[in-house]
C-alpha cells in the first residue's frame, strides 16, 4: 500500500512538473540553449529528467515485491509521468488552448515529438519515451554509489561549463588572444569532444578526490612552515590578491557583472548586521540604499537637479551618516515589534521611500519620475574612476571595510548582545541588556552600508530613477543572506554570486529568474535551512581575548591552572 502511494506520488509530481515546465514555455526557451552542440540542449534536459528520476526513485524504493514487479512499476511510473503532457499535446490541435496556455505552441509539440509525423505517432513516441527514460533510471540505480556520484558530478560539470561558456570564453580570449574558446565551445555550447573530456575528467576526479586531497594536502603542508595555515593570514592574503587581480583577468563586461555582485554583497553584508547578527527581519533595506543614492545624486550631479556639485568622496560620509540617521529614525517606532510584524512594518517603509522619490512633492528637489541625471563618476586628485574595473576597486574596498567592522562587532560584547536577543529577548533583557537600544543600534549600523552602496550605485550608474529602488532590491538582498547562510560571510559571498552574478550571465532566461529564486528558497528551507555555508555557534565565543596580544588576562587573578590555558 505504502509502496503504491510512493510510486503514485512520485509519478504525479513529475507529471505536474512536466506539464508546468512545458506549458509555461520553459522547455522551449531553454531549448534555445545548447549544452552539447547539436546533441543536447537545456530544454531536452528539462523534459527528459523527470521520467528518468521517477524511474530511479521508484526502483530504489524499498520493495517487498519481486524484481520483475519493480521493473514494471518503475517503467509504469515513467509512463504516468509523461501522460498528462502527452494528452495536452494531443488535444492541442483540436482545442484552442492558447488563451490559457500562451506557450502551448506548435513549436513545443514539434520539440516534444522530435518532429515525427503524423502527430499521433509522434506523441506516442513521446509517451513511450517516458518508459524508456525510466528504464535508464533503473539502470542508473544499479550503478554503485561512487559511480552514480561520478556520473552526476560529471553531468553537472558539463551543464555548468556550458552555461558559463560566456565567462570562460571571455577569460580565454583575454589571455590567449584570438578565439581559443572556439576549440572548446561552439556557439555557447560545449563541443562533443570537449564534453567527453570534461565528463571523463570530472568523473575520474570525483572517484579519486579523497585520495588526491590526502596526497596533495600532505605535500602542501610539508612545504609550508607549520601553523601558517591555521593563522589565516596566508589564506586571507591569497584571497585578497585574487580579488585584486580579478578585473584584470575578467575584462570589462565581466567586471561590470562582478561590480554588481559586489554592490549586492555590500548591501547584504550591511543587512546581515540586522538580520544575521541581531535576528531582526528588515524588509525595507532599500530605504537606506535610496537615501545614499539620492544624496550623492543631488549633491554631486552636474545636471539640472544638482546642488553644489560636490566631490563624490565628500558626500560618501554624509550619505552614510544620513542613512544611519534614517535607519535610526525608522527603528524607533518599529523596534518593539517582533518577527512578522517587524518585517511588514519595514516593508512599508521601503515602499514609502520609493513613492516619496516618485512624488510631485519632492520632484523639484530630486526630479520625481525623471530622476537625477548627470551624476559624475567618483574622482580623486584628478583620477577618475570611469570603467567598471576601476569602480570594482571602490566596491571591493567598501566590502572589506564593512566586513571588518561587522566582524569586529560580531566578536564583541555588542555581537553577543545581538545573539542574545535573537535567542530569547525577555531573558536577554533580564540579563541586563537594554533590548530597545541594542536593536536600534543594529538597525542604525546596518543602514550605514546601505547608504554606502547607494552612494556608489548612483555614481556608478550616473543616473538614478525611483524605479531603481523597488521592493525587489530588499527581497534580493534578504534572499542572499537566507540562501547563503545567516551571519555567514562566505555564505553571503556565495549567495551574491549565485543570485546576482549567475542571472547576469544567463540573461536569456531572465524571465524565469524569480521562479529560480523561489525554487531555490523552497529547496533550501527543506534541505539546508541554515543556508549554504552555515555558521557554527561556537566560533563567536571568544572575541578579542588575551590571545590577541593584549595582556588583559593578567589583570584578573587566575585561581586555577585550567583557566590560564587560553
Partner 1 sequence: MAESLLTLASLSKSFGGLHAVKGVELEVEKGSIISIIGPNGAGKTTVFNCISGIYEPTDGAILWKNRSIGGMAPDRIAHLGIARTYQNIRLFSHLSVLENVMLGQERLLRTTWLGAIFGTPRSRQESGEVLVRARDTLEYVGLLELEDRLANELSYGDQRRLEIARAIAGKPELLLLDEPTAGMNDSESRSAIGFFQQLRDDTGITLLLIEHDMRVVMDLSDRIAVLNYGEKLAEGLPEEIQTNPQVIEAYLGTSAEI
The β-bridge relationship of strands 189-190 and 185-186 is antiparallel
| Helix and strand numbers, DSSP H then E, in the chain | 25, 6
Phi-psi region of 486 (alpha: psi -120 to 50; beta: other; left: phi over 0): beta
In the list 84, 251, 348, 546, the residue contacting partner 1 (rule: CB under 8 A) is: 546
Residue 460, C-beta contacts closer than 8 angstroms, at least 6 positions apart: 259, 263, 377, 388, 391
Does 230 engage in binding with partner 1 (CB under 8 A)?
Answer: no
Does 433 engage in binding with partner 1 (CB under 8 A)?
Answer: yes
Question: What's the rounded Cα separation, in Å, for the pair 224 and 37?
Answer: 44
In the list 83, 311, 429, 463, the residue contacting partner 1 (rule: CB under 8 A) is: 429
Instruction: Report the candidate in 54, 244, 27, 56 with the shortest Cα–Cα distance to residue 139.
Output: 56
Does 445 engage in binding with partner 1 (CB under 8 A)?
Answer: yes
From residue 478, alpha-carbon distances to 134, 273, 363, 453, 460 in Å are 39, 12, 30, 15, 23
Does 2 engage in binding with partner 1 (CB under 8 A)?
Answer: no
In the list 373, 405, 520, 532, the residue contacting partner 1 (rule: CB under 8 A) is: 405
In the list 67, 413, 480, 485, the residue contacting partner 1 (rule: CB under 8 A) is: 413
Instruction: Report the candidate in 53, 31, 233 with the shortest Cα–Cα distance to residue 115.
Output: 31
Does 412 engage in binding with partner 1 (CB under 8 A)?
Answer: yes
In the list 434, 518, 519, 529, the residue contacting partner 1 (rule: CB under 8 A) is: 434
Q: DSSP code of 93? A: T
What are the residues facing 36 on neighbouring strands? 40, 190
Nearer to partner 1, 330 or 402 (CB): 402
Q: For partner 1, how many residues bind (rule: CB under 8 A)?
A: 47
406-410 — which CB contacts under 8 Å span 24+ positions?
406/269, 406/270, 406/272, 406/273, 406/277, 407/489, 409/273, 409/277, 409/445, 410/277, 410/487, 410/540
Does 211 engage in binding with partner 1 (CB under 8 A)?
Answer: no
- The answer to whether the beta carbons of residues 399 and 265 sit under 8 Å apart is yes
Question: Radius of gyration over alpha carbons of the chain, in Å?
Answer: 28
In the list 261, 441, 500, 502, the residue contacting partner 1 (rule: CB under 8 A) is: 441
Does 278 engage in binding with partner 1 (CB under 8 A)?
Answer: no
In the list 238, 240, 427, 523, the residue contacting partner 1 (rule: CB under 8 A) is: 427
Does 542 engage in binding with partner 1 (CB under 8 A)?
Answer: yes
Does 424 engage in binding with partner 1 (CB under 8 A)?
Answer: yes
In the list 36, 428, 483, 486, the residue contacting partner 1 (rule: CB under 8 A) is: 428
Nearer to partner 1, 178 or 426 (CB): 426
Nearer to partner 1, 113 or 414 (CB): 414
Does 314 engage in binding with partner 1 (CB under 8 A)?
Answer: no
Does 334 engage in binding with partner 1 (CB under 8 A)?
Answer: no
In the list 165, 301, 414, 496, the residue contacting partner 1 (rule: CB under 8 A) is: 414
The β-bridge relationship of strands 189-190 and 40-41 is unpaired
- The answer to whether the beta carbons of residues 453 and 287 sit under 8 Å apart is no
Nearer to partner 1, 363 or 401 (CB): 401
Does 328 engage in binding with partner 1 (CB under 8 A)?
Answer: no
Nearer to partner 1, 142 or 437 (CB): 437
In the list 187, 224, 431, 523, the residue contacting partner 1 (rule: CB under 8 A) is: 431
Does 234 engage in binding with partner 1 (CB under 8 A)?
Answer: no
Does 398 engage in binding with partner 1 (CB under 8 A)?
Answer: no
Measured at the alpha carbon of residue 28, what is the angle toward residues 22 and 29, in degrees to the nearest 5? 120
Does 93 engage in binding with partner 1 (CB under 8 A)?
Answer: no
Question: What's the rounded Cα separation, in Å, for the pair 144 and 302?
Answer: 67
Instruction: Report the candidate in 346, 345, 344, 356 with the shortest Cα–Cα distance to residue 291.
Output: 356
Does 558 engage in binding with partner 1 (CB under 8 A)?
Answer: yes
In the list 286, 420, 452, 481, the residue contacting partner 1 (rule: CB under 8 A) is: 420
- The answer to whether the beta carbons of residues 442 and 418 sit under 8 Å apart is yes
User: Which residues, numbered 98-157, are part of the site for partner 1 (CB under 8 A)?
Assistant: none
In the list 119, 125, 435, 461, the residue contacting partner 1 (rule: CB under 8 A) is: 435
Nearer to partner 1, 2 or 423 (CB): 423
Does 275 engage in binding with partner 1 (CB under 8 A)?
Answer: no
Residue 91, C-beta contacts closer than 8 angstroms, at least 6 positions apart: 97
494-500 — which CB contacts under 8 Å span 24+ positions?
494/532, 494/533, 495/268, 495/531, 495/532, 496/261, 496/262, 496/264, 496/265, 496/268, 497/261, 499/264, 500/260, 500/261, 500/264, 500/265, 500/476
In the list 247, 415, 484, 491, the residue contacting partner 1 (rule: CB under 8 A) is: 415
Does 530 engage in binding with partner 1 (CB under 8 A)?
Answer: no
Applying CB under 8 A, the span of 42-50, 341-349, 382-390, 424-432 interacting with partner 1 comes to: 424-432
User: What does the binding site for partner 1 look like in residue numbers (CB under 8 A)?
Assistant: 405, 408-409, 412-417, 419-420, 423-424, 426-435, 441, 445, 537-538, 540-546, 548-550, 552-553, 555-556, 558-560, 562-563, 566
Amino acid at each position: 500500500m505504502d509502496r503504491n502511494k510512493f510510486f503514485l506520488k512520485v509519478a504525479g509530481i513529475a507529471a505536474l512538473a512536466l506539464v508546468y515546465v512545458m506549458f509555461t514555455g520553459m522547455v522551449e526557451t531553454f531549448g534555445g540553449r545548447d549544452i552539447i552542440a547539436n546533441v543536447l540542449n537545456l530544454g531536452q534536459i528539462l523534459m527528459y529528467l523527470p521520467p528518468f528520476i521517477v524511474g530511479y526513485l521508484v526502483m530504489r524504493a524499498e520493495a517487498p515485491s519481486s524484481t520483475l514487479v519493480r521493473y514494471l512499476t518503475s517503467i509504469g511510473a515513467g509512463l504516468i509521468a509523461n501522460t498528462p503532457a502527452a494528452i495536452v499535446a494531443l488535444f492541442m490541435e483540436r482545442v484552442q488552448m492558447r488563451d490559457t496556455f500562451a506557450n502551448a505552441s506548435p513549436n513545443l509539440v514539434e520539440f516534444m515529438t522530435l518532429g515525427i509525423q503524423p502527430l499521433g505517432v509522434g506523441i506516442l513516441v513521446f509517451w513511450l519515451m517516458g518508459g524508456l527514460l525510466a528504464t535508464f533510471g533503473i539502470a542508473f540505480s544499479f550503478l554503485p554509489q561512487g559511480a552514480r556520484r561520478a556520473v552526476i558530478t560529471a553531468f553537472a560539470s558539463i551543464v555548468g561549463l556550458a552555461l558559463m561558456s560566456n565567462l570562460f570564453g571571455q577569460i580565454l580570449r583575454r589571455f590567449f588572444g584570438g578565439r581559443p574558446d572556439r576549440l572548446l565551445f561552439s556557439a555557447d555550447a560545449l563541443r562533443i569532444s570537449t564534453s567527453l573530456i570534461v565528463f571523463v575528467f570530472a568523473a575520474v576526479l570525483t572517484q579519486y578526490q579523497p585520495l588526491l586531497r590526502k596526497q596533495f594536502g600532505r605535500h602542501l603542508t610539508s612545504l609550508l612552515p607549520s601553523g601558517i595555515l591555521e593563522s589565516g593570514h596566508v589564506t586571507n592574503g591569497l584571497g585578497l590578491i585574487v580579488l585584486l587581480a580579478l578585473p584584470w583577468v575578467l575584462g570589462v563586461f565581466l567586471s561590470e557583472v562582478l561590480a554588481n555582485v559586489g554592490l549586492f554583497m555590500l548591501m547584504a553584508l550591511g543587512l546581515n548586521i540586522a538580520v544575521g547578527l541581531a535576528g531582526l527581519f528588515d524588509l525595507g533595506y532599500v530605504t537606506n540604499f535610496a537615501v545614499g543614492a539620492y544624496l550623492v545624486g543631488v549633491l554631486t550631479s552636474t545636471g539640472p537637479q544638482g546642488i553644489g556639485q560636490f566631490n563624490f568622496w565628500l558626500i560618501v560620509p554624509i550619505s552614510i551618516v544620513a542613512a544611519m540617521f534614517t535607519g535610526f529614525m525608522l527603528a524607533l517606532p518599529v523596534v518593539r515589534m517582533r518577527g512578522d510584524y517587524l518585517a511588514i512594518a519595514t516593508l512599508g517603509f521601503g515602499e514609502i521611500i520609493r513613492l516619496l522619490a516618485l512624488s510631485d512633492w519632492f520632484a523639484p528637489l530630486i526630479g520625481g519620475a525623471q530622476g537625477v541625471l548627470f551624476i559624475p563618476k567618483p574622482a580623486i586628485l584628478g583620477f577618475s574612476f570611469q570603467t567598471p574595473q576601476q569602480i570594482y576597486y571602490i566596491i571591493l574596498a567598501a566590502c572589506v571595510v564593512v566586513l571588518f567592522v561587522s566582524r569586529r562587532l560580531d566578536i564583541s560584547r555588542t555581537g553577543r548582545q545581538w545573539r542574545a536577543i535573537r535567542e530569547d529577548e525577555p531573558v536577554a533583557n533580564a540579563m541586563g541588556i537594554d533590548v530597545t537600544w541594542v536593536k536600534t543600534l543594529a538597525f542604525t549600523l546596518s543602514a550605514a552600508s546601505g547608504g554606502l552602496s547607494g552612494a556608489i550605485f548612483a555614481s556608478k550608474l550616473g543616473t538614478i530613477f525611483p524605479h531603481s529602488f523597488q521592493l525587489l532590491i530588499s527581497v534580493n538582498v534578504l534572499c542572499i543572506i537566507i540562501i547563503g547562510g545567516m551571519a555567514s560571510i562566505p555564505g553571503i559571498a556565495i549567495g551574491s554570486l549565485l543570485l546576482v552574478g549567475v542571472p547576469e550571465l544567463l540573461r536569456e532566461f531572465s524571465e524565469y529568474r524569480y521562479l529560480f529564486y523561489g525554487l531555490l528558497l523552497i529547496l533550501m528551507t527543506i534541505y539546508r535551512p541554515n543556508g549554504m555555508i552555515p555558521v557554527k555557534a561556537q566560533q563567536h565565543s571568544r572575541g578579542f581575548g588575551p590571545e590577541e596580544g593584549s595582556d588583559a588576562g593578567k589583570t584578573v587573578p587566575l585561581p586555577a591552572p585550567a583557566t590560564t590555558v587560553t
